[in-house]
Amino acid sequence: MTDFIPYGRQNISQQDIDAVVAVLTSDWLTQGPAIAHFEQAVADYCGVTYAVAVASATAALHIACLAADLGPGDTLWTSPNTFVASANCGLYCGATVDFVDINPATYNLDVVALEAALADSDRPPQVVVPVHFAGQSCEMAAIAPLAQRYDFTVIEDASHAIGGQYRGKPVGCCEFSDMAVFSFHPVKIITTGEGGMVLTNRQDLYEKLIRLRSHGITRDPDQMQDDSHGPWYYQQLELGFNYRMTDLQAALGLSQMQRLPAFIERRRMLADRYADLLTGLPITLPTQHSDTASSWHLYVIRLHLDQIGCSHRQVFEALRDKGIGVNLHYIPVHTQPYYQTLGFGWGDFPEAEQYYREAISLPLHYGMSLDEQDYVADCLRACLS
């Protein structure tokens, strides 16, 4: 093996290219019909009523929080094992942020810890953001009754999880949540280059999300505060943002949606194959909850550092030196310097911190060959021997 093997990579077909070229030669480049078609395709796949495409998953999280009326004086809770956007979205709204430690088996937000934290808190959160880490859904059926009891909005950060299932239904159907968010970054399951989407079954949230992604503006006469002045008329009803997706991106996303079943099938095959190839090594393989069927955005192992003769960093760097693009998902958010200025620090969430000391994300993507996977497994075995 001489080529670099990335941990994740987009797969672009001629069909995808043709779809984008068709938009380039059309009358629409920015916000046009391809966006509506893409939104409908995702909504239909997930079995949800509404979908709102935006410029990124970060933008999706931001407007989802605003649609939930998150603001100053409120609190958002999420997992420390995630990208910073899952927490930053609360700060963007002027709210405060706190975390709930992870389940040591699934690496998702620990529902037992969440229930205990809610019982102990004199300030329940306005919003809870469960993160479906690596493509495996959180235990949403246990979170939903807590949301009813403590009156908080549930926004699923499903950035990793399009194509996954929970209790036999697609992740994103919002059966146990108010909203769900997908990411279409190039390393995710499908891509639009950059892009994201908010899904919901609630019309009131949908109407607000549509306004918030485009400056808070509406052209719907039923939403306006006085009579229309004419066919040119629009009103800004609130402070929104320029978070629109382009038709170019949506055309790529719509084409990729047609390939989603094939993407998921191969990722699951590669994950099963890793389990066979890596059995017997001094590592912990990913655990799947019985209610879930992961989309396998990531394949994360944990090193048994007490059983190997090298450090976490040494294993990571040895694999990189072999041309294997391992990565680490994630540095616990509460340990970031910015969050330490907000009062967080090492020791606050020990399960997430212990996970961080041991975790390595191995390459897993649709275009990965079996020979490449064999090479990764052989190099890892050599590092750990």
pLDDT, block means (10 residues), the chain with 385 residues: 86 97 91 94 98 98 98 98 98 98 98 98 96 98 98 98 98 98 97 98 97 91 85 89 96 98 98 98 97 98 96 98 98 98 98 98 98 98 94
The ranges of the chain annotated as CATH 3.90.1150.10 are 259-384
Residue type present at position 260: L
Residue 127 pairs in a beta bridge with 76, 153
Contact by Cβ (8 Å): 53, 35: yes
Note the pLDDT of residue 229.
86
Q: Which CATH number fits domain 259-384: 3.90.1150.10, 3.40.50.10490, 3.40.50.720, 3.40.190.10?
A: 3.90.1150.10
The ranges of the chain annotated as CATH 3.40.640.10 are 5-256
Note the pLDDT of residue 269.
98
Note the pLDDT of residue 2.
55
Taking alpha carbons only, the member of 360, 359, 297 closest to residue 326 is 360
Note the pLDDT of residue 233.
85
Contact by Cβ (8 Å): 165, 63: no
Residue 166 pairs in a beta bridge with 169, 292
Intra-chain end-to-end CA distance of the chain, in Å = 20
Q: CATH classification of 5-256 is 3.40.640.10, yes or no?
A: yes
Assign 3-class secondary structure to the chain. Answer: CCCCEECCCCCCCHHHHHHHHHHHCCCCCCCCHHHHHHHHHHHHHHCCCEEEEECCHHHHHHHHHHHCCCCCCCEEEECCCCCCHHHHHHHHCCCEEEECCECCCCCCECHHHHHHHHHHCCCCCCEEECECHHHCCCCHHHHHHHHHHHCCEEEEECCCCCCCEECCEECCCCCCCCEEEEECCCCCCCCCCCCEEEEECCHHHHHHHHHHCECCEECCHHHCCCCCCCCCCCEECCCCCECECCHHHHHHHHHHHHHHHHHHHHHHHHHHHHHHHHCCCCEECCCCCCCEECCCCCEEEEECHHHCCCCHHHHHHHHHHCCEECECCCCCHHHCHHHHCCCCCCCCCHHHHHHHHHEEEECCCCCCCHHHHHHHHHHHHHHHC
Note the pLDDT of residue 28.
86
Note the pLDDT of residue 221.
85
Q: Measured between alpha carbons, how far is 158 from 140 in angstroms, rounded to an integer?
A: 12
Residue type present at position 362: L
Note the pLDDT of residue 296.
98
With tokens 């084409």, the residue in question is: 255
Both tokens assigned to 158: 């499903």
Q: Measured between alpha carbons, how far is 334 from 323 in angstroms, rounded to an integer?
A: 31
Query: Which tens digit of pLDDT belongs to each residue from 265-279?
Result: 999 999 999 999 999
